[in-house]
Amino acid sequence: MKMSNVMRYRPRSVWLSASVPAVIVIALIVETIANRGLKGDLIAIAWGSFVLISDYLLFIHPTVTIFDEGIIIANPLQTISVGWHRVESIDARYTMSITVGGKVIYGWAAPAPGRYHARSLHESEVKGMDIGFNGEIRPGESPRSDSGQVSYIAKLRLKNFEENSLEGCESAVRTNYLGAGLLVGSLAIALIFYALSF
């Protein structure tokens, strides 16, 4: 797939959101290994693996990649590639989202803030930006929010695509079978070790 002028988006805050549970889980695994027997060690490692894989899939894996030919939205278990020629609208209500063929695709990497966020904006922060309606913007469109930043850049790329008659990329949906398999497998192993009495 041809991708030019690529911008990959993942909020910096996800590293903190992912590292806090990871540190706690690793500390609990180490503590269990130091103080328990084999069964406790296996159970702790299995549950810890499940939590760490979930942590990765929920926080680190999701990204939004925007390029001149289209957009790629990587969510925990699916990666959706869409050419700009198929995008009907771009929104930022709950997360940054695109509408394709009447279906809304949400980007987990760009969540919208709470409903009071827009009240803290000053008009100078949105001056010259073509966002909102009659001077009112929704919290998700705020240039200080993840959803607002990504949706604004996506709208600029869509506008550029339409003005310059570029060729869009192929659309595809790929399932993250490896992530799903590791998640289900680690849960199954944890439940088996927990159920066994050895």
Give the tens place of pLDDT for each residue, 144-159. 566 677 888 888 888 8
In a domain, 83, yes or no: yes
Note the pLDDT of residue 140: 57
Tell me how crowded residue 182 is: count the other CB atoms within 10 A of its CB: 18
Cα–Cα distance measured from residue 183 to residue 198, given in angstroms and rounded to the nearest whole number: 25
On whether residue 109 sits in a domain, the answer given is yes
Q: Is residue 78 part of a domain?
A: yes
In this structure, are 131 and 44 located in the same domain? no
Residue 164 domain flag: yes
The whole-chain average pLDDT of the chain stands at 82
In this predicted structure, what is the pLDDT of residue 1? 66
Q: Tell me which residue range forms the domain holding 97.
A: 66-173
Q: Is 61 helix (H, G, I), strand (E, B) or coil?
A: coil
Query: Whose structure tokens read 């799903």?
Result: 180
**Above 60 in pLDDT, residue 86?**
yes
73 and 55 in a single domain? The answer is no
Q: Which two tokens stand for residue 192?
A: 């088996």
Asked if 79 and 112 sit in the same domain, the reply is: yes
Q: Is 1 exposed, middle or buried (0-12, 13-18, 19+ CB in 10 A)?
A: exposed
Please indicate, yes or no, whether residues 87 and 129 belong to a single structural domain of this protein.
yes
Mean pLDDT on 163-167: 82
Model pTM score: 0.80
Condensed to tens digits (0 to 9), the pLDDT of residues 95-148 reads 888 999 889 999 888 776 655 544 555 455 545 555 554 555 555 565 656 667
Backbone angles phi, psi at 24, to 5 degrees: -65, -45
**Is residue 77 domain-shared with residue 166, that is, in the same domain?**
yes
Nearest to 60 by CA among 184, 187, 179, 185: 179
Q: How far apart, in whole angstroms, are the C-alpha atoms of residue 66 and residue 4?
A: 9
Residue 1 lies in a domain: no
Looking at the fold, whether 92 and 168 belong to one and the same domain comes out as yes
State the first-to-last Cα distance of the chain, in angstroms, to the nearest integer: 52
- Say if residue 112 is in the same domain as residue 82: yes
What's the total number of domains in the chain? Answer: 2
